[in-house]
Structure 1
Amino acid sequence: MPRDLDLRKLRYFLALAEELNYGRAAQHLHIAQPVLSRQIRALEAELGASLFVRDRRGVELTPAGEALRADTPALLAAADAARRRVARAARGTDTFTIGFMPGLIVTAAAVALEARRPGLRVQVVRTGWDDQVQVLHDGRADVSYVRLPVDERGLRVIGIAEEPRVAVVAAAHRLAGKDEMTLTDLADEHLLQNPDAVPEWREVATEMRERVPRPPGEDRYGVEEKLEHVARGRGVAVLPASVAAFYTRPDIAVATITDIGPSRVALAWQAQRRSPLIRDFVDVVAGLDSPCTVLAPPG
């Protein structure tokens, strides 16, 4: 029967799984290559499975290695999260951290939790599309206000709000000045974000139908980067109305998209955690008239 997984060996495994080269992985880990080889062999022996295929062409993951590669980031993130929580407890720091996406205001919930738990310090951390769930897995936040869809594996997720989605165009754009528009109006435009985030648009988009290559890295733009490119006439963006309101600027124009579903806001936390503070916070949110405040567009 295999022993408990060694986190150090898992970190070594993950480095090699990402590099698929012993030399580069060892360099990344700041260890000697023979040490890495021994640790990988030891891990394979403990698991009773070959994780890598080694031949003249290089290194490849076996099916068992692929399975472990899928699970390892979550295992390591959970361990890091536990370390953070233990370190806070050891320092005697009674804190609770709320993650939130741009355009959302969580002040009422934070104040209500502090009132319910005298002596508790509630902190907040701003998140983005790429880390709104990751902050839960790595322990930076206890709960997170997320914009759906997200990867819900390992999480409890409850919907709490909805809001319209808007199109953001340059102030000089042909569509600027319209209060409303449809997806058909945007069909010939270049979308400055991952098309998977707006599947309704990709169904009608000319550039998707014609398979126009997308610039590398563009799908990972943050809101500020998107708006910089929008203002320069390089494309359009589809955002929740509150995000557009949060980033109001004179060189862009905003219009509600009438034939698209709303942006949905949810509260998420790690499903396996049994924290009384999380239970209290969920109760607090359920008792509020407005679980979170969504910034209204200026008008």
Structure 2
Amino acid sequence: MDLDLRKVRYFVAVAELLHFGRAAERLHIAQPVLSRQIRALEKDVGAELFVRDSHGVALTGAGRQLLEDGSALLASADAARRRVLRVARGTRRLLVGFRAGIVVAPALRAFSAAHPDVRGNARRVEWDDQERLILDGTVDIAYVRRPVREDGLELLPLCTEPRVAMLPEGHRLAGKPGITLADLDGETWLRYNDPGPDDLPIRTVEEKFEYVASGTAITMVPRSVAEQYSRPDISYVPVTDAAPDQVLLAWAAGRHSSLITAFAEIARTVAGQTAGES
């Protein structure tokens, strides 16, 4: 039996919240209706998806697998819906995502010259949404930086670049021509994936500026970020033994698009020319 996307969407809401009442509120449906839909889905797939007891709701092994596959399935369906709507409106468009510091304009200019009937635009993505925005169709293709969650993505390595320390003005190492990681021993580093209980995740380079300039902590950024973003209260210092930053192109695996293929080839050529000039 084919999976009913509506039931899968209901399931994902419960799986993420592990609470039928809150999931029903999120979905704007009655809780008994949601419970019936989940039981119907369990019948469809032939497996129990949740353990329900006096302690609450927990996913079974089958439920964990469906959450992983179902989230990707819903993202793919949403992406298809967006593409169909764009075609129905008569608009051929390629939306290219990019991380801070990465210059997209040369590749977009070359792409537009080769495809004058296609509107090419760019949208910045961040470390915590770069994969989601590709998989759900918000962007068609994106320049991303490692680390990358590779599930569901095709990846094309483009280039690497050195990383530099972002330090507050007046820091003991500010202004030096180069330092090593050992020189940074004992420093407090910004936390990204594991913020404190009262902290919000740090997402953007602008947020990094504020933390570093205030003396709260330091971090490292790709050299291209240092070249594009300058502030008098921030100092960038090359870290000679830091692992280089990796830039890749990413798009949804299994998506066959002549425009994506064309842009990827142009982007690779432009990256090669840029590397040859540097």
Do Structure 1 and Structure 2 share a fold, with TM-score over 0.5? yes
1:6 equivalent to 2:4? Answer yes
1:126-205 alignment to 2 at 5 Å? Answer: 126-194=124-192
Residue of structure 2 equivalent to 1:28: 26
1:238 equivalent to 2:220? Answer yes
3-state DSSP class of the match of 1:26?
A: helix
Structure 1 Cα separation of the partners of residues 82 and 248 of structure 2: 24
- CA-CA distance at 1:170 after TM superposition: 0.7
* Cα deviations by residue, 1:234-266 (Å, 9 ceiling, x for unpaired): 010111011122221000111000111211111
In structure 2, the CA distance between the partners of 1:119 and 1:292, relative to structure 1 (3 Å rule), is: farther
Which of 251, 254, 263 aligns to 1:269? It is: 251
Structure 1 Cα separation of the partners of residues 273 and 41 of structure 2: 46
* Cα deviations by residue, 1:29-53 (Å, 9 ceiling, x for unpaired): 1111100010000000000000011
Structure 1 Cα separation of the partners of residues 256 and 223 of structure 2: 34
3-state DSSP class of the match of 1:102?
A: coil
In structure 2, the CA distance between the partners of 1:195 and 1:64, relative to structure 1 (3 Å rule), is: closer
3-state DSSP class of the match of 2:130?
A: coil
- CA-CA distance at 1:221 after TM superposition: 3.5
Contact 1:98 1:125 (8 Å CA) reproduced: yes
> Which amino acid in 2 is paired with 1:220?
I
- CA-CA distance at 1:141 after TM superposition: 1.3
- CA-CA distance at 1:121 after TM superposition: 0.8
In structure 2, the CA distance between the partners of 1:218 and 1:244, relative to structure 1 (3 Å rule), is: farther
Structure 2 Cα separation of the partners of residues 292 and 137 of structure 1: 28
> Which amino acid in 1 is paired with 2:226?
A
- CA-CA distance at 1:219 after TM superposition: 4.5
> Which amino acid in 1 is paired with 2:68?
A
In structure 2, the CA distance between the partners of 1:55 and 1:292, relative to structure 1 (3 Å rule), is: farther
3-state DSSP class of the match of 1:220?
A: coil
Residue of structure 1 equivalent to 2:91: 93
Alpha-carbon RMSD across the aligned residues, in angstroms, is 2.0
Contact 2:155 2:251 (8 Å CA) reproduced: yes
Contact 2:126 2:203 (8 Å CA) reproduced: no
Contact 1:179 1:254 (8 Å CA) reproduced: no
List gaps (5 residues or longer) in structure 1. Answer: 197-212
> Which amino acid in 2 is paired with 1:189?
E
Residue of structure 2 equivalent to 1:284: 266
Residue of structure 2 equivalent to 1:67: 65
> Which amino acid in 1 is paired with 2:118?
L
* Cα deviations by residue, 1:256-286 (Å, 9 ceiling, x for unpaired): 0011121111111112011111121122234
Structure 1 Cα separation of the partners of residues 186 and 178 of structure 2: 17
Structure 2 Cα separation of the partners of residues 195 and 93 of structure 1: 38
- CA-CA distance at 1:289 after TM superposition: 6.2
Contact 1:109 1:291 (8 Å CA) reproduced: no
* Cα deviations by residue, 1:137-165 (Å, 9 ceiling, x for unpaired): 01111111111221112222111111110
Which of 87, 93, 106 aligns to 2:104? It is: 106
In structure 2, the CA distance between the partners of 1:221 and 1:128, relative to structure 1 (3 Å rule), is: closer
Which of 44, 48, 57 aligns to 2:55? It is: 57
- CA-CA distance at 1:134 after TM superposition: 1.8
Contact 1:26 1:32 (8 Å CA) reproduced: yes
Q: What is the identity percentage for the equivalent residue pairs of Structure 1 and Structure 2?
A: 51
In structure 2, the CA distance between the partners of 1:195 and 1:238, relative to structure 1 (3 Å rule), is: farther
